Chain A
Amino acid sequence: MTSVLPVPALELRGLSKRFGDKVAVENLSLTVPTGSFYGLVGPNGAGKTTTLSMATGLLQPDAGQSIIHGVDMWQHPLEAKQLVGNLSDGVKLFDRLTGEQLVTYNGLLFGMSRDTVAERVADLLKLLDLESAAGTLVVDYSAGMTKKIALACALVHAPKLLVLDEPFESVDPVSAANIRDMLTDYVRGGGTVIVSSHVMDLVQRMCDHVAVVSAGRVLAAGTVDEVRGEASLEDRFVELVGGRHHTEGPSWLRHS
C-alpha cells in the first residue's frame, strides 16, 4: 500500500557536529510534521542550540542533512532560508538600530517591498507590546524586550516554519502568554513551530509533539502523550536523562 506522506516541515537526517574532540551532536535524526507545535527539550549542553543552528543554516554540520519543506538547507540555502523564521540564542542583534529599524532591516533583507514591510512591522510591534519602545535603540532594551524584538525579526517574512531557541527566556509572564497565543494561532493557520526550552511544564501545555535530547542524541520523540505516557513530562524527562540527585544538600546550607 502506498500512501503519499505529506512533506514534513523539517527533517533532520543524521546530523553530526564535533567541536575539537567534544561531540556536540551525534547522528541526530528528527522529523517535524507540518502543522505541529514541536518542543525540543534537553539538559544544559545537550546540543539543542547546535542542532537548531545546523537546521537553520547558521552552522555547517560535519555530516547529515536538514530539509525544510523538501528543500535541502545546505544545497539550496537561499530558497530554504525564505521558508524559515529563526530566533537564535546566543547571537547579538544589530542593536544600534531602533526596534522598528531592526525589524524593517530584516524584512528588507528578505527582499520584501517597503510597503509590505512597513505594514507588518506595525502589526508585529503592536502584537508584541513594543509600540512604545519602537523608537528606542535595541541596545537600551531589557532582556525580555530584546527577545521579543528578535521574535518580530523572525516573523516578519511570514515563514512556514518557525525555529525558536529559548524564546521565553527572561520574557515576562504577560508577554509570554501573548506570544504563546500568537504561536498557537500561527500553528492553527498551517504554520509549524519548533521551540527549545528547559521548562517542561510549558512544553507539556503548549506543544503537541516533543523530542528529548541529551548528549547530542534523541532519547525519545513523538507526540507529547506518547513520550510522557502516564507520567508528567518532567518526571519522564528526568527518568530519560537521569542525573537526578536525591540528597538534601550539604549541611552548611541549612540554617535551621
Chain B
Amino acid sequence: MVATLLRLRFLVLRNSLRRSTWQLIAVIIGAVYGLGVLGVAVLGLVALSFAPQELAATVIVLAGSAVVLGWIVVPLIAAGIDQTLDPARLAQFPLPMPKLLVGLTLAGVLGVPGVITTIASLATVASWIRYPAAAAAAVVCAALAVLTCVVGSRMVAALSVSLQSQRRFREISSILIFIPLILLGPIIIGVSQSVRNSADALPQVARALGWTPLGAAWSVPADLAAGDVGAAALKFVIALATLALLVLLWRRSLAAALVSPHAAASKRVARGKIGLFGVFPATPAGAVAARCLTYWRRDPRYARQLIVVPLIPVLLAFYSNNMHSLTLLTLAGPLVAFLLSLATLADISYDGTAFAAHLADGVRGRDDRLGRVVALAVIAVPIVLALTLITVAIAGAWHELPLLLGLAFGALLSGFGLTSVSSARIIIPVPAAGDNPFKSAPGAGFTTALSSFATWGILILLVLPEIVLTVVGFVTGSALIGWIGLAVGLVLGTGIAIAGIRIGGHQLDCSGPQLLSRLKTLRGA
C-alpha cells in the first residue's frame, strides 16, 4: 500500500509534466538549480573535514538548523507545495493511519527537495570522516534530521489545514505571512551586521542550537568528535523525542483534517444591497469597474498586490537610512506606481472561466478594458499621490515634487495602457479564487516570471522619456525641467493609456473565444 502511494505520486508528476512543455522546462531548471546548490553544499561539507573540529561543528549545526527551520516554515507560505498526495483526497480510501503516515513521509523524502536534503545530510558523514565514531553516528543522525524535516513540514501543513478550514482566516493569514519574507532583506542585513560585530558569538549560538530540536540531530556527531559522549547521547534523545513528538502531532492533526472538510464561512448582506454596482454608472464599463473593485476587496489574490504599498516605503526608508540620503525615499511614489500599474497584467487569468460571462453577454472589448483600468485607478491613484506627497514632505524636497509626480503618474498611466493590452493576451496559470494566493502550479512560477519581466521591461521603455527627464532634473536641479517632466508624464501617459485600451479592446473582440478556450485548458493545471 505504501508502494502504491509512492507510485501514485510519481505517476501524477509524470503525467503533469507530459501535459505541458513549460512545466517540464521549469522542473528541469529547478533541478539544475537544485543540483548546483547541492554540489556546492557537498563540496563545502567535504572541505569541512580538513577544518578544525570546532569550525565544522559550528557550520554544520547552524546550516542544519536553518534547513530544518526552512522545511517547517515553507508549508505555511505555500500550502500548495505538493498537493499530489493531498490527504483530503485520500480520505475516502480505507488506509490505516500508520501506512498513510509512512507513505506520505516517503513521498516527501523522494521529492526533489527531499532528495537534495538527504544527499546533503549524508555528506556530513564526509565532514566527520576523520572521527570514525562521529562519522558512523552522522549516518543515523542524517536520516533522523531528514525525517524531522519531512515530518515537520507535513505536520505544519496538516495543522494549518485544520486551522485554515475557515475561508476568511485562510485568506488573511496567507497574506500576512508574506510580509516578513519581503522584509527578509533588511532583516538579513540587520542580523549579519550584528553577526559581523560579534563573529565570536557564532560558536555559542551553534552550541545553544545544538540543544534545541532544530539542531540536536546535527550536533550529535560534533559532540562525539569532540569526545563528549554524554552530551551526544542526550542530544540524540532530544532529536528522537522531537521526531516522535512531530509524528504524534502530525497523526493527530491529520486525523482531524480527514474528518472535518472545509467549512463554509457564510458572509451575507441584506437584500437590495448591491454595493458598488449602485455607485458606478450603469454602463457595461461601469459594471466591470464595480465588479473589479468588489474583487479587490473580497479576493485575496488582488489584495495581495497591495502588500507593496507599505513595504516599498519601509524598504526605501531602511536603505536611505543606511546611505544617509533621503533621495531614495522620495522614489517610493514612482516605484509603487510602477508596481501597482502592472498588478493586473494577467487580469483575465484571475477571472478564470467566469470570463465567459463577458463573452456571452457581448461586452465590447473596450468597455472591458476601461472598466478594469478604472477600478485599478480608483485604488492606485490616491495611494501614489499620497505616497509621493508624504515622502517628499519627509525629505523636505518640495522642489522635486513636479518631477516625481510626473514620473509616478507617467508610469501609472503607461502601465494602465500596457496591462490593457497584456491582459488581453497573456493567460498564465494562477491560483483559483479561494486557494492560497501564493500557491502555484508547477511551472507556473516560471511562465509567470517570464511574462512579468517582459512586461516590466516594456513599461520601462514606455516610461523612458520620464525617467530621462527625472535624471536630468535631479542632476541640474532645474525647476523648468521639473514642470516639463510633469507635463510629459501626464500627456504621454494618458496617450499610452488610451491607446492601450483601444488596442487591447480590439484584441479582446477578436480573440475572446480563444482566451476562454485557453482558460478552460488551464483549469486544474
Contacts and interface: CB of A to CB of B under 8 A. Distances in A.
A60 B518 CA distance: 12
Interface in B300-317: none
Given A90-B520, A109-B358, A57 B267 contact: no
Nearest to B514: A60
Contacts of B434: 139
Interface residues of B, number: 46
B360 interface: yes
B282 A135 contact: no
Interface in A108-136: 108-114, 117-118, 125, 131, 134-136
Interface residues of A, number: 46
Contact of B357 (A78, A106, A125, A140): A106
Contacts of B352: 92
Interface stretch (A27-35, A93-101, A181-189, A236-244): A93-101
A220 interface: no
Contact of B362 (A81, A91, A134, A135): A81
B433 interface: yes
Contacts of B361: 81, 106, 109-110, 157
A93 B354 contact: yes
B523 to A, nearest CB: 9
A154 B283 CA distance: 18
Contact of A100 (B271, B283, B360, B514): B271
B30 interface: no
A108 B288 CA distance: 9
A42 to B, nearest CB: 20
Interface in B253-305: 264-275, 277-278, 282-284, 286-288, 290-291, 294-295, 298-299
B356 interface: yes
B287 A109 contact: yes
Contact of B269 (A98, A108, A117, A139): A98
Contacts of A57: 359-360, 362, 513
A96 B299 contact: yes
A96 B270 CA distance: 16
B353 interface: yes
B271 A131 contact: yes
Contacts of B273: 98, 100, 135
Given A91-B520, A104-B274, 18 more contacts: A58-B356, A58-B360, A58-B516, A78-B362, A88-B356, A91-B356, A92-B352, A92-B353, A100-B273, A108-B284, A109-B362, A110-B284, A110-B361, A118-B274, A135-B271, A136-B266, A136-B267, A137-B267
18 contacts: A56-B360, A78-B364, A93-B354, A94-B291, A95-B354, A100-B272, A101-B277, A104-B274, A106-B357, A108-B283, A109-B361, A109-B362, A110-B361, A114-B282, A125-B271, A135-B273, A136-B266, A140-B265
Interface of B: 264-275, 277-278, 282-284, 286-288, 290-291, 294-295, 298-299, 351-354, 356-364, 433-434, 513-514, 516-517, 520
